[in-house]
Amino acid sequence: MIEMINLNKSFGSNHVLRGVTLRVETGESMVVIGGSGSGKSVLLKHIIGILKPDEGKVLIDGTDISALNENELNELRKKFGMLFQMAALFDSMSVWENVGFALMRNKEIPKKDIKAVAVEKLKLVGLAGVEDLMPSELSGGMKKRVGLARAIAHEPEILLYDEPTTGLDPILADAINDLLVEMKQKLSITSVAITHDMNSAYKIADRIAMLYKGEIIGTGTPDEIRNTQNPVIRQFITGSSVGPIKIEGVHNERNINRT
């Protein structure tokens, strides 16, 4: 179980998180939606302890992660897998070395078996015959899949997805969504995804939470979110430029013409 309690984080004068409180149950798939620059990535990086909150805390199965020392934090991180927005594959290593990275570091499996495990994880995300390629030889969709294979290679209990479908065409995006749903069913893991792609959110979420101006302004099942009366959430999920959410730095002429 992941609990975020009153998280506050500022970068200089920019107050990004303003008291985020959110709870993700074990086995649940939570999707956090929100506009660009709303602090979604910052929130995700707090869950795995890459960023530390100025105020508030993150509890993973009851353990406060900002109270851990480095070794304890690294132990805890073995429970996690994270898929990055642009996959963040290590470009100096081949595909299988990327997938087997955590296994090689943890030294729990003999070195000679790691490649076989990596190939097996690649199959799980629908890739075959790419293990000896370098990341630069892969397409965007394949990189995401390799990133996912790397995230699940050490069999984590919690998966974090940073905009899993961004930058992919709609068909590839849907294929990735299917893959995430499949992962959830096969591996029964807790997951937190952040996205602004509503198709993806509806498809993979058990619950959706909306982050707006550094706060969670509403949570609910996909159906509850679809039928919400909250004007901010409504505007976001319908993708309208007119409404309470103002686009920063853009002068909205349509509003002026109507008056």
Partner 1 sequence: MLKIIELIGRTIIRFAEGIGQILTLLLQVLKQMLRPPFEIRNTFKQMLEIGVRSLPVVLITAIFTGMVFALQTYTGFKRFGAEAVVGTVVALSMTRELGPVLTGLIVAGRAGAAMAAELGTMRVTEQIDALETLATNPIKYLIVPRLIAGTLMLPALAIVADLIGIIGGYFITVGLFDTSSIVYWKRTWNYLETSDIYNGLIKAGFFGASISLISCYKGFYTRGGAEGVGKATTGAVVLSSMTILISDYFLSAWLFK
For partner 1, the binding residue among 40, 121, 145, 150 (CB under 8 A) is 150
> Which residues contact residue 39 at a Cβ distance below 8 angstroms, ignoring those fewer than 6 apart?
9, 16, 17, 20, 211, 214
Of the candidate residues 1, 88, 133, 175, the single one contacting partner 1 (CB under 8 A): 88
The answer to whether the beta carbons of residues 44 and 160 sit under 8 Å apart is: yes
- Build a one-symbol-per-residue string for 183-222: x at contacts with partner 1 by CB under 8 A, - elsewhere: ----------------------------------------
Q: Is residue 101 at the binding interface for partner 1, with CB under 8 A as the rule?
A: yes
The residue range among 86-94, 126-134, 204-212, 232-240 that interacts with partner 1, by the rule CB under 8 A, is 86-94
**Which one of 42-50, 166-174, 194-202, 203-211 is the stretch in contact with partner 1 (CB under 8 A)?**
42-50
Q: How far apart are CA 235 and CA 220, in angstroms?
A: 16
Nearer to partner 1, 136 or 229 (CB): 136
Is there binding between residue 45 and partner 1 (CB under 8 A)?
A: yes
Q: Is 75 a residue that touches partner 1 (CB under 8 A)?
A: yes
Rounded distance between C-alpha atoms, residue 181 and residue 164, angstroms: 12
Inter-residue contact 81 to 158 (CB < 8 Å)? yes
Q: Which of 2, 60, 102, 124 binds partner 1 (CB under 8 A)?
A: 102
Token digits for 174? Answer: 């849907």
Pick from 6, 10, 14, 74: which binds partner 1 (CB under 8 A)? 74
Judged by CB under 8 A, the residue of 14, 50, 55, 170 near partner 1 is: 50
CA distances from 35 to 113, 247, 248 (A): 43, 10, 11
196, 89, 92, 66: which is closest to 148 by C-alpha?
Answer: 89
Q: Which of 86, 116, 181, 247 binds partner 1 (CB under 8 A)?
A: 86
Chain centroid to Cα 164, Å, comes to 7
115 binds partner 1 (CB under 8 A): no
CB of 186 to partner 1, least distance (A): 21
Specify whether the CB–CB gap between 16 and 39 falls below 8 A. yes
| 48-56, 124-132, 195-203, 206-214 -> range binding partner 1 (CB under 8 A) | 48-56
Task: Indicate which single residue of 16, 31, 43, 85 sits in contact with partner 1 (rule: CB under 8 A).
Answer: 85
Q: Verify binding: residue 152, partner 1, rule CB under 8 A.
A: no
Given the rule CB under 8 A, which residues bind partner 1? 45, 48-50, 70, 74-75, 77-78, 80-82, 84-86, 88-92, 101-102, 105-106, 150, 154, 160
